[in-house]
Structure 1
Amino acid sequence: MEEIISCCGVVCSGCGYYPETCGGCPAIEGRVFWTEYTGDAVCPIYQCCVTEKMLPHCGLCGELPCGRYDQDDPTKSPEENRADYESQMAILKKLAGRE
């Protein structure tokens, strides 16, 4: 299976919600299922990165990491959220060629 990475550094193709519940941000343009719980039409990170700044991923943004990454997944422990964040930053750094 081809690895699909969202603009925020999440490996969509490695997510438990992919592909049945979520087709991955590149395909669904940030209209992820969980926005129904936040009141957003589109993921705020996707909106900023792709729609507003027209970047392929946040690794190319001079503001990374920004406050949009501060929201934790309430279904995960603080340790799991921290690990996810660190993974995202490592992926974005690699995508930007700054390993």
Structure 2
Amino acid sequence: MDSKVSKAKISSRKTKIVNQLKLNLRNKDLVAPCGLYCGECGAFQDGRCGGCISRKGLCLKYTKICKIYSCCVEKKGLRVCGQCKEFPCRKFPAFFDTPAWRREVLG
């Protein structure tokens, strides 16, 4: 009996994982050029923002275009930084080390 229950639990977990992967693939446009997933942002979840790509790199809380978006999408015509032959560059760690960004995203 226990093995049937265990197999059912494992099957259920696998189904959940597969469904989550399918959901993430459908929402690939919510992956910002830097790799952040905009779908997890409170502003997106509240319906106040459509994500980095839809806003052309303009974060809801800031008035400047994101330097990573500008370089990756506008300058180099790429979808994500990982596609760039120069990755990782100076812009990338500078962005993630910014205290304001860490406070906002990490709490």
Which TM-score bucket, shorter chain as reference?
Answer: 0.5 to 0.7
Corresponding position of 1:14: 40
Percent of pairs with identical residues: 32
Q: Which amino acid aligns with 1:66?
A: C
Corresponding position of 1:43: 66
Q: Relative to 1, partners in 2 of residues 1:34 and 1:7: Cα closer, same or farther, differing over 3 Å? A: same
Q: Relative to 1, partners in 2 of residues 1:76 and 1:49: Cα closer, same or farther, differing over 3 Å? A: closer
Q: How many residues align?
A: 75
Q: Relative to 1, partners in 2 of residues 1:64 and 1:75: Cα closer, same or farther, differing over 3 Å? A: closer
Q: How does 1:16-31 map to 2 (within 5 A)?
A: 16-19=42-45, 20-31=47-58
TM-score when scaled to structure 1?
0.62
TM-score when scaled to structure 2?
0.58
Q: Relative to 1, partners in 2 of residues 1:56 and 1:75: Cα closer, same or farther, differing over 3 Å? A: closer
Q: Relative to 1, partners in 2 of residues 1:75 and 1:59: Cα closer, same or farther, differing over 3 Å? A: closer
- Asked if residue 33 in structure 1 is aligned to residue 60 in structure 2, the reply is yes
Corresponding position of 1:53: 76
Higher RCO (CA 8 Å, separation ≥ 6 residues): 1
Query: Larger deviation: 66-75 or 50-59?
Result: 66-75
Structure 1 unaligned residues grouped into runs of 5+? 81-99
What is the CA–CA distance in structure 2 between the aligned matches of 1:34 and 1:65, rounded to whole Å?
25
Q: Relative to 1, partners in 2 of residues 1:61 and 1:74: Cα closer, same or farther, differing over 3 Å? A: same
More helix by share: 2
Where 1:8 maps in the other structure, the secondary structure is coil
When Rg is computed on C-alpha atoms for both structures, the one with the higher figure is 2
